[in-house]
A and B are shown apart, each in its own frame.
Chain A
């Protein structure tokens, strides 16, 4: 009886594995994910696989960078009154990063090779803007979150254009994260980010130009 159960399980797992025989010549022989349920649908051809790869790689790099920015800010402002606020936002970013780590691992997506660069650059950006005080840190947050939200929005648009049915799960995840980033953006605005714009030195614009133009940035992030 155990044997038949094993056989049944084997057959079920056979059907459930998203192996596409005909495309083996074009794509790799192994199934895209080892689990039956995954956020990302198994790609039908190498073109779609590449598109999904880029999207996921850029998002992963973005969350990683955001996490490092908050780490930099915490290093400077951790013991001040804004510490808990930054910590809270940082924790949310960490959760996002974890989710993307999961997705990358199960979809066998290559992480970006520029991670060490984002590691250092993010930390420096966070630390340097935090040195300008609470307003500077909040301005940095506003600018970064704005860029990230814009970026997520364009991804959502692209996926919706292609096939909303197919990417339901992935769209759900991206929408949820985009909403979180918008929250951070609004939090930053609440906490006196605007007051910095009255100064001559405008850190939030310098941050925005760091991520501008989006296509170039995406291309760099997707390397």
Chain B
């Protein structure tokens, strides 16, 4: 156990990941404190070993905090050496710092680490496709072993879902920013159709760097075990767009609008896959037409309803007139 820990730390020192954070004396002292709680179970496999290492690191950082004012010293040390190492190391330091502030959130650390690996893996997607190889390549750029791709049980599915979630939150940020601009009076509010078109276009443009491999990504999302989460992301996306478009309905229209936009988004995405026009002009024209269709349908439905009401009124009036004419309304 102790030997494993030392080996991991030595490995980390070589890779420059957070090594500078632990000056010799405090670390040695805290190590004994860590040894007791760190009876992390049999770290046999590499995957679990890696996870254990991450947990050890976090435990150490926590106990470092307890032992002395090390974090501040550690951080400055970390920052000074960050110039020589990749930015990821300082981010790792500060992220581990932040995580050590919370109580026992090992899950957070792993999630963040997974997020970083997947973000790095996106670079290799054009080359390897949406596969575990891309994840492995991404892990290697972070200085981790390529075997850490085994951390992702869902493999390529994790990568695609992470990308989709990232795009959705980027779009939400953009829409929130625009919303703020409008509220501050610095921008004109757009008409609903224009807003929807711009939002969907912005979102679909995020696929452009990966458009060659996007059919593969879509098919991965259609795998049965990925469908629930993919649908969740899609519904979040559509709800965000409608919310910022100003929809505040609380009846069946809530469902109708989202269903319509989901249809528009999905069909436009499919069209984009086969579009070879410059800058996807055909796709945006298609999108425009579909939105116009939806708007027209809504207008027609409204007109139909008001016409129907008028017709009913007319019929009632006619019936009353007949009753009067035939004398049925008279009281004798």
Contact = CB atoms under 8 A, between A and B. Distances in A.
B169 A29 contact: yes
8 contacts: A10-B180, A13-B184, A28-B240, A29-B168, A30-B172, A30-B243, A60-B250, A100-B250
Contact of A111 (B168, B186, B236, B254): B254
Contacts of B248: 105-106
A110 B172 CA distance: 18
A172 interface: no
B124 to A, nearest CB: 23
B252 A115 contact: yes
Contact of A108 (B175, B176, B239, B255): B239
B172 A28 contact: yes
A32 to B, nearest CB: 11
A108 B236 CA distance: 11
Interface of B: 111, 115, 168-169, 172-173, 175-176, 179-180, 183-184, 186, 236, 239-240, 243-244, 248-252, 254-255
Contact of B184 (A9, A100, A105): A9
B180 A13 contact: yes
A101 to B, nearest CB: 5
Contacts of A25: 111, 115
A6 B172 contact: no
B254 A13 contact: no
Given A13-B180, A28-B240, A113 B255 contact: yes
Contact of B179 (A10, A28, A34, A105): A34
Contacts of B111: 25
A54 to B, nearest CB: 15
A37 to B, nearest CB: 15
Nearest to A24: B169
Nearest to A31: B176
Nearest to B242: A108
Given A29-B168, A60-B250, A105-B250, 6 more contacts: A25-B111, A25-B115, A28-B172, A30-B243, A100-B250, A111-B254
Residue of A6, A30, A101, A104 with most partner-chain B CB within 10 A: A30
Nearest to B180: A13
Contact of B250 (A6, A28, A111): A111
Contacts of A110: 254
Contacts of A111: 249-251, 254
Interface of A: 6, 9-10, 13, 24-25, 28-31, 34, 60, 100-101, 104-106, 108, 110-111, 113, 115-116
Question: What does DSSP make chain B's interface, helix, strand, loop or mixed?
Answer: helix
A5 to B, nearest CB: 10
Nearest to A25: B111
Contacts of A106: 248
A104 B250 contact: yes
A111 to B, nearest CB: 5
B257 to A, nearest CB: 12
A218 B175 CA distance: 35
A29 B164 CA distance: 13
B236 A28 contact: yes
Given A60-B250, A105-B248, A108-B243, A29 B184 contact: no
A35 to B, nearest CB: 10
Contacts of A100: 250
Nearest to A64: B251
A183 to B, nearest CB: 25
Contacts of B173: 29
B186 A30 contact: no
A1 B186 CA distance: 15
Contacts of B176: 29-31
A173 B252 CA distance: 25
A111 B255 CA distance: 9
A31 B249 CA distance: 18
Residue of B169, B239, B248, B250 with most partner-chain A CB within 10 A: B250
Contacts of B179: 34
B255 A101 contact: no
Contacts of B184: 6, 9-10, 13
Residue of A24, A28, A29, A101 with most partner-chain B CB within 10 A: A29
B256 to A, nearest CB: 11
Contacts of B186: 6
A139 to B, nearest CB: 29
Contact of A115 (B172, B175, B251): B251
Nearest to B173: A29
Contacts of B180: 10, 13
A128 to B, nearest CB: 24
A2 to B, nearest CB: 11
Nearest to B248: A105
A42 B187 CA distance: 27
A151 to B, nearest CB: 19
A13 B183 contact: yes
Nearest to B255: A113
